[in-house]
A = this chain, B = another copy of it.
Amino acid sequence: MNEFDLINKIKPKYYKQPTLIKGIGDDGAVFNSQCKQTVIAVDTFVENIHFTEETMSMFHVGYRSLAAAVSDLAAMGAMPAFYLASVILPTRDRSVVYESIFRGMDTFAAKYKMDLIGGDTVSGSVLALSITVIGYVEKNKIHYRHHAKNHDIVFVTGTLGDSQAGLYLLQNKKTVSNGHYFIKRHQQPEPRVNFAQQLTDLKRVSLNDISDGIVNELYEIAEASKVNLLIDESLIPKHKDLMEFPKNLVNEWIYYGGEDFELVGTVPAKDWKQVKLIASQTNTPVTKIGSVNNTLHKSIGKVFLKKDDSINLLNRSGYIHFE
């Protein structure tokens, strides 16, 4: 089966986005952004680095790759519209692998009526996906990292550490209560698109998605906004069954684990009530975990943790792809 046959297998039969002018079938895809701003992000996912055959089926590889890329759009407040998928495919079981990956992407894409509008498929010795996602946002409604200001509330969605707990179960063949929940959080993360969308009604929100661990994401906000952040260990939201895992691992997962694709951000204290309302309307758990506090330290761009009665600087040693 050659590239053309593969593409015909996954080419959409119809498109859903009203701004699309030309999808798959020419040298490029064409769309019309009208009065909105276009947000674009790319995410790459490589076998034996980001996943293995034992931790993900090919369906999950597709689903999770697109979900991770869309999480970046969510963190900007953009509504997902299109994606392009570049696939490096080893020769083994090529057609089956390809179809499963695209079925996974398609299943995720359907949630937001996203259209597959292009891509590239080449052979190679390692399975890898590079997903480009495109979304729209109204002018001046973007959740930039540099939007945090002193006295803002720091909040996070969902619970942290679940994805790494799921990976641990898959890699160590362990069982815990609700093991299926943790595994699903690893294989099929759900970016907080609708919640982030609704937040665009607020004037000033800083927002990051948690792909590399909350500490790293908080540092990115602190540095971009030139503020210090203080979070409270006792407020970090955890799933009730996370305590069944080894305690030292749990702490590592919560602060540095990443891949939960939850959102962390800041809003002015006066808007906190509105955030909670939006969270309730979009069925999104949201927790206040701290505040912006520039009086904590002379230098700025730092993240501190309050634990019991002491406050300590958090090490920025989140997951880094090369380590």
- Residues of chain A whose beta carbon lies under 8 Å from any beta carbon of chain B: 1-4, 21-22, 25-33, 37-46, 48-50, 71-73, 75-76, 78, 82, 84, 86-88, 94, 117-126, 128, 130, 132-135, 137, 139, 142, 144-145, 207-209, 224, 320-323
Contacts and interface: CB of A to CB of B under 8 A. Distances in A.
Contact of A321 (B123, B128, B323): B123
Contact of A2 (B72, B121, B123, B323): B323
Nearest to A323: B2
Q: How many copies does the complex hold?
A: 2
Given A26-B145, A76-B28, A126-B125, A118 B40 contact: yes
A73 B40 CA distance: 17
A35 B83 CA distance: 22
Contacts of A208: 27
A319 B178 CA distance: 51
15 contacts: A3-B322, A27-B41, A27-B72, A29-B41, A30-B76, A38-B38, A40-B118, A41-B84, A42-B86, A42-B120, A43-B120, A44-B120, A49-B123, A88-B126, A124-B128
A119 B38 contact: no
Given A26-B76, A26-B145, A33-B33, 13 more contacts: A2-B320, A3-B322, A25-B224, A28-B72, A28-B135, A30-B39, A42-B86, A43-B120, A44-B86, A49-B124, A88-B88, A120-B130, A125-B125
A30 B37 contact: yes
Nearest to A146: B26
Nearest to A212: B3
B37 A75 contact: no
Given A128-B88, A130-B86, A42 B2 contact: no
A207 B44 CA distance: 31
Contacts of A145: 25-27
Contacts of A48: 124-125
Given A41-B118, A120-B42, A130-B44, A33 B30 contact: no
B46 A122 contact: yes
Contacts of A3: 320-322
A86 B65 CA distance: 14
A1 B321 CA distance: 11
Nearest to A135: B28
A38 B42 contact: no
Contacts of A126: 88, 124-126
A126 B123 CA distance: 12
Minimum-distance CB pairs A-B, first 10: A28-B41, A130-B130, A27-B75, A27-B72, A33-B33, A86-B130, A46-B124, A44-B120, A2-B320, A28-B39
A322 B123 contact: yes
Contacts of A137: 30
A207 B27 CA distance: 9
Contact of A73 (B28, B72, B119, B120): B28
Contacts of A32: 33, 37-38, 139
Which of the listed residues A75, A120, A125, A323 has the most CB atoms from chain B within 10 Å of its own CB? A120
